[in-house]
Amino acid sequence: MVALTRKQFDILESYLDHGVLTQRQLCELTGQSLGNVNKVVKELSELGLVDKKGATEAGVAAMERYRVRRAVFLAAGFSSRLLPITLNTPKPLVRVKGKRIIDSLIDACIGAGITDIRIVRGYLPEQFDQLLYKYPTIRFLENPQYNETNNISSAVAAKDILSNAYVFEADLLLAEPGLIKKYQYSSNILGIKTERTDDWCVVVEDGTIVEEKVGGEGSNIWRLLGVSYWTEEDGRKLSEDLVKTYQAPGGRERYWEQVPLHYCKDRYSVEIRECTEEDIKEIDTFRELRDLDHTYDVNL
């Protein structure tokens, strides 16, 4: 199977997404210069991966090694900040304008051809069974420790299925389904560039995360969102490193993404993938939910 360079991958993916494209259109889609596009298109043509009609069958086959195989949702938590709504309903199943929060993510996965979908549940687990009416192929993983640990226990429950996989925090409201792509070249996490934050953030250099910390300011500070992708190799490493960190002193109190970004960061190279505030919403409090859906605008 052909191993593609990053520039070859970006152009071949553009052909698969959009069909026949001019080289100027490829420049706009990939951010590459016209000279680079000319060079890479020639390389792909010589490899038999593209022709005048776009991507060839060989091109589709070459992308197979980069295809996302599954999606894993971490959905076990109680979400006390969304009380009183979450007293009887897990946060991912809360409805915004009539639609469950988690549905926006699942629908985007299915739209990208990802049908192997696993949900790690803990709080009110039986309520997630309602998803099977719309998504009958979903499978569940149980996290009985959800109320005694941080979210690292949910990642440990899914440790053996993190290769070639998206990992989602299941309480994100997705407005731009195009963020969930069929193919991914490298491990990455969605983020929003910010000038200053008092919250958890990362420092990014040349597109790669180099540090995770609480609070920061400057031109290289990004706020992370709970959507990440892990390659086959990094998924195998996570299987080991999650357990090692979880079993270490204080490990049960860690956030799972601290494993590749902090505690074992020398073993990973994780890119930032940019999105905007409009693309995806984090609903952390009842007030934020009420601002998005005025049907909750009642005295409780």
Domain parsing of the chain, residue ranges: 6-65, 67-292
User: Which tokens is 261 given?
Assistant: 């970004």
Q: Are 29 and 19 in contact (CB under 8 A)?
A: no
Note the pLDDT of residue 153.
96
Task: Give the Cα separation of 13 and 96 in Å (integer).
Answer: 33
Q: Would you call 103 helix, strand, or coil by DSSP?
A: helix
Note the pLDDT of residue 226.
92
pTM above 0.85, yes or no: yes
CATH of 67-292, one of 3.20.20.150, 3.40.50.150, 3.90.550.10, 2.60.40.420: 3.90.550.10
Buried b (16+ CB within 10 A) or exposed e, 174-208: beebebbbbbbbbbbbbbbeeeeeeebbbbbeeeb
What is 6-65's CATH number? 1.10.10.10
Partners of residue 248 on adjacent β-strands? none
Q: Are 189 and 272 in contact (CB under 8 A)?
A: yes
What are the average pLDDT values for consecutive 10-residue runs of the chain, which has 300 residues?
89 90 87 90 92 90 95 90 82 92 96 96 95 97 91 96 96 93 97 90 94 90 95 97 96 95 96 93 85 76
